[in-house]
Structure 1
Amino acid sequence: MAHVALSVARRWARTPLALRIAVVYLAARLITTVFFIVAASLSTPFSRFGADAGLIDFVLGWDAQWYWLVAENGYPSKLPLTDSGQVAENAWAFMPVFAYAAKAIGFVFGAWGLGAFVVSFVAGYLACLALHRLLRNRVGASAALWAVVFFAAGPLAAMFQVGYAETLFLLLLFLALDATVRRQYAWLSVLIPVMAFTRPGILAFALFLGLHGLVRWFRRREDPLAGREIVHIVALGALATATGFAWQVIAGIVTGDPGAYLATELAWRRHWIVGGVDGFVPFEGWIQASQFWFGNWGLPSSAGPIVLVLLVVAVGVALLFSRRVRAIGVDLRLWSASYVLYLLAVFFPQSSTFRLLLPLSPLWGAVAVPRSRWWRLGVLALCLVGQWLWIFPMYALGNTFWQVP
């Protein structure tokens, strides 16, 4: 028996990497499909999807409807208003790259939904390849493959099979991080604009480039920094910043309202804040949310911001001092810190919080570092449990604003 297991292990090791990752990815997608089928069977008339829900309903559910609306009708030139005269939810919150990529692929398959599924599915596999390439020189090939396993089967794995822009953005992000780590800056001039119009987050990448440049400057004696690289980093940081604000400018020009994009984003936040939201203030969302959730849980709302500060300090300590996290390298830690700071500045944490943590997926490399088989299998088991605990309430039961993926 041991001889057979050893033979299988050797054959697996000799299998081309792309094929091994394909096997991992397809196995993970099969598990997710089973979870979706079970969730569909448990869907009730009170669910958003109804008692007769099917897989295509899940592919086209929630935010996928907005991307479909963008692909079919574009963006409104006049912002819709609520009965109280406030800006209502509208398509300006959803960027165009995924919507129109799905439309182009859907033209081949005859339906936008199939196009959206194909884009998410294929981008997810390519993102797995890119993640392995990003991590293997830092944590080793074996740990990098396990990181891919956790990524492909993780709690948010449903995103690989629905009409959301997440997996396409992750593919672009991993490629951009890899290009930065390998000092292949020219590629970023192509990747940054596409990322910027796929989903929000490029401003975090601008901050990351700034920190990356500072680290390279202070380490220029042991890691020589050529003049052309300085020009590249500065120019790319400027490009990321400009494209990060470009969508707001475009929305303002088309609608004639300079605050159209921010007003649109805040339209979703009004569901959570009693009395509404007057305007966007950086970092205010997390303070409001901590007070909201603590009050909702029957805890003193004043304690929310204190716990939030302690949580931020804990994350910062982990990124700075954890041996496992340090194993993934300075650049990936800088990206993680930049993205966390970006979320703190612009986001209001609610049911979509976990989905918005997906750009931190390079941290799976830190989770995969311990070589214990039982550790890795235990993490995988927790990933699958977490996946079901995400799919069941969001798809089988989802019917309110706090059950949005």
Structure 2
Amino acid sequence: MADELLTPAPPAVRPTPWRRLAGLPVAVRIGILYILARLVTTLFFVAAAQLAPNWSRFGRDASVGSFAAGWDAWWYWYVAGYGYPTTLPVNDAGLVSENAWAFMPLYAYAALGVGALFGSWVAGAVVVSLVAGYLSCLVLYRMLRMRGDDAMATWAVLFFACAPVAALFQIGYAESLFLLWLFLALWCVMRRRYAWLYLLIPLMGYTRPGVLAFALFLGLHGISRWITRRREPLPARHIAHIVLLGLLATAVGFSWQVIASIATGDPSAYLSTEMAWRRNWILDAPAHFVPLEGFVQAAGFWAGQWGTSQALVLALVALAVGGFAALLLFDPHVKRLGADLRLWSASYAVYLLAVFFPQSSIFRLLVPISPLWGAAAMPRSNTWRVGVLAACLVGQWWWIHTVYALAGTAIWTVP
């Protein structure tokens, strides 16, 4: 007993900052990480403003504020202030030119409402993006927590908040708000809370394009649930929900085309408007949209830019598509995310193949598959995770410097 009393107590182990952070409520912890990520992005914006050459899109007066209101943000501001044209503008060749019908209304008017409290639409847009981005991080955490431990979900959220295109969380783009509706919808599907989707699908559909990918996902989800019905019971009410929601998502996805055609009197108003942006890349772009044609056209364009053959570019596209499919099918970390997140990623990839003309905006358009960050955060060494985070930050600086500091100086500087 005397020896025990004389034995010095082991020194108290101080908790590391990470352990202290892990002990906080999830909303607080995610909020701290999100704020730190946004501070880093702001520093990147400040540096990009200082480096912007006079001949760039933003010129010598470049600032964080002008960046927030630049590129597509201008179009959302226009929608909020002037609405949509009833007569489509045309160019000298008689083809429909760029106009507001390419941009959905929900984000524009949400920013207008919030901006009334802050004195400007741009301020409202930044607030909407910031808040929606934070809430998206919370929902992403909840989704991934269903598939892994706390560390995995937290690291995945950190990757998401610091991703190469994370600047979208603080500019006048609709991606943040769309991601919030999308993540909520995916979370509801994972929890089999289908009723909420009757609200979330229209919110998605009128925030930005992409709800048709969700319609495809619901179809694949229904097939998956039917195949696995012996492992997971499939009540009749779930079948009814999945079918009705798939129809709703399809109807919402095509409704904007109907609205544009009624408002303008032109049945092809929306698709012709979308094709107008394609003519920024190829002068002989067809006047009418054809599914899957964009990748073939882009292969010819980029082959000319790179001095190679169109067949080689198409082969590279096929290789990328095959690699992504193999990742979803066979990678053990991706498989641990569950069928629903994998089916969504596949559905969205098919949607992009069908409608997208691949150019530098591809990095931004890949953001909806962000749940795959969970696979990058699966239990590995901290060295791996820190390396992924560093790569995210390097990619973010490259993206901000390219599309804001060098904005418009080359074809590859379009966000």
Following the alignment from structure 1 to structure 2, what is the Cα–Cα distance between the partners of residues 362 and 265? 28
Contact 2:76 2:103 in 1 (8 A): yes
The 5 A counterparts of 1:245-284 are: 245-284=254-293
Which residue is equivalent to 1:403?
413
The correspondence for 1:229, drawn from 226, 233, 238, is: 238
Structure 2 residue aligned with 1:324: 333
SS of 1:399 mapped into structure 2 = coil
Q: Which shifted more, 231-240 or 279-288?
A: 279-288
Distance apart, 1:395 and its partner CA:
0.4
Kept in 1: contact 2:95–2:287 (CA 8 A) = no
More displaced stretch, 5-14 vs 298-307:
5-14
Matched, 1:98 2:98: no
On the 8 A contact 2:34/2:161 being kept in 1, the answer is yes
Indicate whether 1:49 and 2:70 are aligned.
no
What is residue 4 of structure 2 aligned with on the other side?
Answer: none
Q: Report what 1:65 is aligned to.
A: 74
Distance in 1 (CA, whole Å) between partners of 2:16 and 2:301 is 56
The residue number in structure 2 matching 1:197 is 206
Q: How big is each residue's C-alpha offset from its partner over 1:76-128, in whole Å with a ceiling of 9 and x where there is no partner?
A: 00000011111000000000000000000001111000000000000000000
Distance, in Å, in 2 between the alignment partners of 1:310 and 1:276 is 25
- Residue 359 (str. 1) matches residue 397 (str. 2): no
How far off its partner does 1:11 sit?
2.6
Distance in 1, Cα, partners of 2:318 & 2:402:
29
How many angstroms does 1:290 deviate by?
2.0
Deviation string 1:296-324 (CA, Å, 9 cap, x unpaired) is: 11112221212211221111111001111
Counterpart of 2:42, as a letter, is: T
295-304 vs 125-134, which moves further: 295-304
Please tell me whether residue 130 in structure 1 is matched to residue 139 in structure 2: yes
Distance in 2 between residues matched to 1:118 and 1:335, nearest whole Å: 28
| One of 129, 132, 148 as aligned partner of 1:120 | 129
Q: Is the 8 A contact 1:284 1:345 kept in 2?
A: yes
- The amino acid across from 1:171 in the alignment is L
Task: Supply the AA of the counterpart residue of 2:150.
Answer: A
1:7 shift after superposition:
5.1
Query: Any idea what the Cα deviations from partners look like across 1:137-184, whole Å, max 9, x if unmatched?
Result: 102211010000000001001100100000000011000000001000
Distance 2:296 2:326 in 1: 21
Quick check: 1:291–1:303 contact (8 Å CA) kept in 2?
Answer: no
Structural RMSD (CA): 1.2
Counterparts of 1:3-402 in structure 2, within 5 Å, are: 6=15, 8-400=17-409, 402=412
The question of whether the paired residues in 2 share the 8 Å contact of 1:319 and 1:326 is answered with: yes
Q: CA offset at residue 365 of structure 1?
A: 0.3
Instruction: Report how far residue 9 of structure 1 moved.
Output: 4.1
Counterpart-to-counterpart distance in 1, 2:320 and 2:303: 14
Which residue identity is paired with 1:213?
G
C-alpha distance in structure 2 between counterparts of 1:220 and 1:5, whole Å: 50
Q: Which runs of 4+ in 1 moved over 3 A?
A: 2-5, 7-10
For the residue of structure 1 that corresponds to 2:70, the secondary structure is coil
Distance 1:212 1:180 in 2: 9
Contact 1:124 1:168 in 2 (8 A): yes
Q: Is the 8 A contact 1:269 1:277 kept in 2?
A: no
Indicate conservation of the 8 Å contact 1:36/1:55, yes or no: yes
Q: Secondary structure at the match of 1:6?
A: coil
Moved more, 318-327 or 266-275: 266-275
Judge which range, 385-394 or 5-14, deviates more.
5-14
Give me the whole-angstrom Cα distance separating, in 2, the residues matched to 1:397 and 1:104.
Answer: 32
* TM-score of the aligned structures, taking structure 2 as reference length: 0.95
**Aligned CA distance change for structure 1 residues 5 and 166 (closer, same or farther; 3 Å):** farther
Instruction: Give the secondary-structure state (helix, strand or coil) at the position aligned to 1:138.
Output: coil
TM-score of the aligned structures, taking structure 1 as reference length: 0.98
Conserved 8 A contact 1:49-1:57: yes
**Separation (CA, whole Å) in 1 of partners of 2:38 and 2:325:** 33
- Percent of aligned positions with the same letter in both sequences? 60
Higher CA-based Rg: 2
Matched length: 404
How far apart are residue 4 of structure 1 and its match?
5.9
Aligned partner of residue 147 in structure 2, secondary structure: helix
For 2:132 and 2:354, how far apart are their aligned partners in 1?
28
- Paired with 2:40 and 2:362, the residues of 1 have a C-alpha distance of 23
Q: Offset at 1:12?
A: 2.2
| Alpha carbons of structure 1 residues 50 and 241: separation in structure 2 relative to 1, 3 Å | same
Q: Could you tell me how far apart the structure 1 residues matched to 2:99 and 2:354 are? A: 22
Retained in 1: the 8 A contact 2:272–2:287? no
> Aligned partners of 1:320 and 1:176: how far apart in 2?
23
What is the CA distance between 1:394 and its match in structure 2? 0.5
Q: Which amino acid aligns with 2:39?
A: L
Write the distance in 2 (CA, Å) between the matches of 1:312 and 1:7. 42
Matched-pair contact (CA < 8 Å) for 1:143–1:371? no
CA deviations 1:216-236 (Å, max 9, x no partner) are 011111100000110000000
- For 1:145 and 1:13, locate their aligned partners in 2 and report how far apart those are by CA, in whole Å: 9
2:413 is paired with a residue whose SS is coil
Question: Quick one: which amino acid aligns to residue 324 of structure 1?
Answer: H
For structure 2, the residue ranges without an aligned partner over 5 or more in a row are 1-10
Shift of 1:294: 2.4
> Matched residues in 2 for 1:13 and 1:121: separation?
23
